[in-house]
Amino acid sequence: MPRLLLVSTLPNWVALATEAAGRLGAAIDVVPDVHAALVRMLRPDHVYTHVLASGPLRSREVDTLAGMLDEVTLKATPLVILGGGCSGINTVESVVEPDMDALLRALSDRPAPAPATELTPEELTAALHNGGLRMRFQPIVRATDLQPIGLEALARVHTRERGIMHPKDFIPATIASGRERLLTSIAAARTFLELSCPVGDLQLFVTLNVPMVSFLHPTALRRAVEMCALAGVAHKRVMVEVLESLTAPDMVLLGRALDNWRAAGFLTAIDDAGPELPHWREMMELPFDAVKLDGTLISDPGSQALLESIVGAAKARSRFTILEGIEDEACLERAKPLEVDALQGFLFARPLPAMALPLWLDAWAKRDEAARAAAA
């Protein structure tokens, strides 16, 4: 059954959208502003097929609504702007005048989205230079009590023709074009900017994915220090997840870089420790602060021995451990005997725009309060 969310207090648009929903046999929820819309979209029992919003909306609000649709609702959910333009986002349609036929077309005639294909190096470069990078933040919770303690910054690339692209669709082009440093620099700058307001008061640590080639570059540390100073973000709140692949890193060079980053006050982590990182044992001997365990380990019963081996090696060296891939209660139950330090996954939250993070934190706190009350 179609389910519409209308963001508006304008009587003409409320009446028109309500009538259109009736004609389509759709349910409709009406909220007064973007804040209330984000709260609704965070609820797992409310998955919308359309979101309609009447202006005036700031571009950041449109970006945030579009980002929420991409991350937490149906993949084909369009955003329809009532009485305004499209803000350059291809998931957005517009109905300028209160016209029933135009609104029904916007709600009914949208074609199915084409399957995502990898960006070309040229498309990636154009997107990065034209403000096409978007950041999402996925909460990390403490394993013992599921309280939020951190965020992972995750990059998305937006193009007008393709919409929002996820890493699997642009990382190959990033590597092929040698744009790892450019992507990392822009992603870090946007992360620090977005976390300085309004998320800066939350006092959570944030993890950044940094390819080895960027982490080892002579200017990388200086640039990170400058970005933190500009955004007012303390170094101790930043954990750098060092990305490595099948290529064996230069352990001596990596060790020196780790010493320098840690001396500057940053935290460092081995990223994606698991079957795709064959050199994790050698890297474990270096002075990393944390180990991020690949999410496939908890979902694949055949990886149990490897999972336990990595966790055991990390504990023996007093490394902080973060287990990704907690998608449901079954994964959570399998994770408990491991006694890792922190957990991350869709069970707690999907990646969210920065503007939605305070709302998720408030909803998560209320969920925790309700659970304690029920237990009492």
Q: Which ranges in the chain are annotated with CATH 3.40.50.2300?
A: 3-108
Pick the CATH number of 3-108 from 3.40.50.2300, 3.10.20.600, 1.10.1040.10, 3.40.50.1000: 3.40.50.2300
Instruction: Tell me the average pLDDT across 336-360.
Output: 93
Amino acid at 155: A
- Do 148 and 167 meet the contact criterion of CB atoms below 8 Å apart? no
Q: What is the pLDDT of residues 232-245, one digit of tens each?
A: 888 999 999 998 76
Q: What is the pLDDT of residues 302-314, one digit of tens each?
A: 899 999 999 999 9
* Rounded-to-integer distance, Cα 311 and Cα 186, Å: 33
Percent of the chain with pLDDT strictly greater than 90: 55
Asked whether the predicted pLDDT for residue 166 surpasses 70, the reply is yes
Q: Which ranges in the chain are annotated with CATH 3.20.20.450?
A: 121-371
| Architecture category of domain 121-371 in CATH | Alpha-Beta Barrel (3.20)
Q: How many CB atoms lie within 10 A of CB 265?
A: 13
- For position 71, what pLDDT does the model report? 87
Q: What is the DSSP string of 279-301?
A: THHHHHTS--SEEEEPTHHHH-G
Residue whose structure tokens are 């994770």: 335
- For position 297, what pLDDT does the model report? 94
Asked whether the predicted pLDDT for residue 368 surpasses 80, the reply is no
Pairing state between β 133-142 and 148-159: antiparallel
